[in-house]
């Protein structure tokens, strides 16, 4: 883990991973991210997405089985997936604060509800 992005990652100052220190609202875009393989993270509609950013820590080394699928402009990992496990993914931003301005940020929650419903249907007696 990068303990402090501002001091432990070159380029972080230009991106501004702590948007509240720049006076931006929580639902505003703090910076863009680029998906390296949008198909691996099906919540992406496009290769680029504007995200909010409040973190002072970030991933340095991934756990076994995880693959990075999106980066900020300064090359910090912003999203990861576990190939073969379609419901295992993580994002560094806060989509729950952005979905009203940009519906793309509602996709992780839609995915969660759909997966939960499908799981319930599979385990319910007929």
Q: Give the single-character DSSP code of 124.
A: S
Q: What is the pTM of this model?
A: 0.85
CA 66 distance to own-chain centroid: 14
DSSP per-residue letters across 43-84? T-SSSEEEE--B-S-B-SSPPTT-EEEEE-TT--EEEEEETT
CA distance 84 to 79: 16
53-82: pLDDT as tens digits: 998 899 999 999 999 999 999 999 999 999
Regions of the chain where pLDDT drops below 70: 42, 121-126
Q: What is the pLDDT of residue 122?
A: 63
In terms of residues, how long is the chain? 126
Q: What is the pLDDT of residue 52?
A: 94
Q: What domains can be seen in the chain, in order of their start residue?
A: 5-123 (3.40.50.880)
């Amino acid at each position: 883990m990068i303990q402090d992005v501002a001091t432990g990652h070159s380029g972080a100052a230009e991106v501004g991973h702590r948007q509240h220190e720049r006076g931006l609202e929580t639902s505003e875009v703090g910076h863009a991210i680029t998906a390296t393989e949008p198909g691996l993270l099906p919540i992406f509609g496009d290769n680029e997405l504007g995200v909010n950013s409040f973190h002072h820590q970030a991933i340095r080394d991934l756990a076994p089985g995880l693959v990075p699928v999106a980066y900020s402009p300064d090359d910090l990992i912003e999203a990861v997936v576990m190939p073969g496990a379609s419901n295992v993914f993580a994002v560094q931003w806060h989509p729950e604060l952005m979905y009203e301005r940009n519906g793309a940020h509602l996709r992780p929650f839609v995915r969660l509800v759909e997966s939960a419903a499908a799981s319930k249907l599979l385990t319910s007696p007929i």
